[in-house]
Amino acid sequence: MGQLRDRMIGDLELRFYRPGTQRAYVSCASRYAAHYMISPADLGTEDVRGYLLHLVRERQASAATVKMNVAALKFLYTYTLDRPEVAAAIPWPRVRSTLPVILSGTEVEGLLASVDTVKHRATAMTTYGTGLRVQEVCRLEATDIDSRRGLIHVRDGKRGRDRYVMLPARLLLVLREYWRAERPAGPYLFAGEHPNRPMAAESLRRALREAAAKAGLVKRVTPHILRHSFATHLLEGGTDLRVIQVLLGHGSIRTTTRYTRVSAKHVGRTTSPLDVLGTEKALPLG
């Protein structure tokens, strides 16, 4: 894409899109241009439609992949090419809503006990104990840990939002153990190979896969599944949905309510109308 690619990167930077999102959008736009072997500036609505159909029919791309391409092309045509009419004509795909995998408390305990190194155990416990996203965990700095107030300051979260989450007493003990063992030299609490760079998210993902295998867990385990488990366990423990929304950094309560669909206790506490037939509780039913 040449100059167009550089301009798109600049437009993304001016709007403070995350580096990962920038790379994904530019990659989608580049593949779109390569498909037609012509500049996107010379293509239009029907070309976009044809490319998306190519992804669905020939590449058998998932709805999530098509959605990412739609977002990238909408950005390209709205901002970089200043052709909003093309972007407006691109339909958003319907993405199937699936229920997240949730670990039981016993499974989480077994998983954490199976993490080999003190560093990865500390990051895994931070992920489950606070519900942070994996990138938020990796970017934590030592100064973000407020042991006196029992809080962790999450800076520049999703959509650039700051927030506070709790600092569990058990996690604080592990973090102190980790600090005595590692003594990170740079600003990051969990530094990568270079002390001035954060730990790579893939490092934690790999450690969790290995720990899950060691613990004999059949369920797929990722940092995000620990985040899902954190939210579900809070809900089952009686925490209000609004509080969970704030802790997770969700922009909308609708995102948080998904956990009511996977909470076994919430479903189990719901009384079926079959059980009230013939009783006083059935009077409102007529």
Determine which one of 121, 133, 139, 233 is catalytic. Answer: 133
Q: Is 224 a catalytic residue?
A: yes
Cβ(250)–Cβ(256) below 8 Å? yes
Determine which one of 209, 250, 258, 266 is catalytic. Answer: 250
Alpha carbon distances (Å) from 69 to 25, 28, 32, 63: 7, 6, 9, 10
Q: What is the 3-state secondary structure (H, E, C) of the chain?
A: CCHHHHHHHHHHHHCCCCHHHHHHHHHHHHHHHHHHCCCHHHCCHHHHHHHHHHHHHCCCCCHHHHHHHHHHHHHHHHHHCCCHHHHHCCCCCCCCCCCCCCCCHHHHHHHHHCCCCHHHHHHHHHHHHHCCCHHHHHCCEHHHEECCCCEEEECCCHHHCCEEEECCHHHHHHHHHHHHHHCCCCCECCECCCCCCECCHHHHHHHHHHHHHHHCCCCCCCHHHHHHHHHHHHHHCCCCHHHHHHHHCCCCHHHHHHHHHCCHHHHHCCCCHHHCCCCHHHHHHC
Q: Is 259 a catalytic residue?
A: yes
Q: Is 205 a catalytic residue?
A: no
Determine which one of 31, 224, 258, 266 is catalytic. Answer: 224
User: Active-site residue numbers?
Assistant: 133, 158, 224, 227, 250, 259
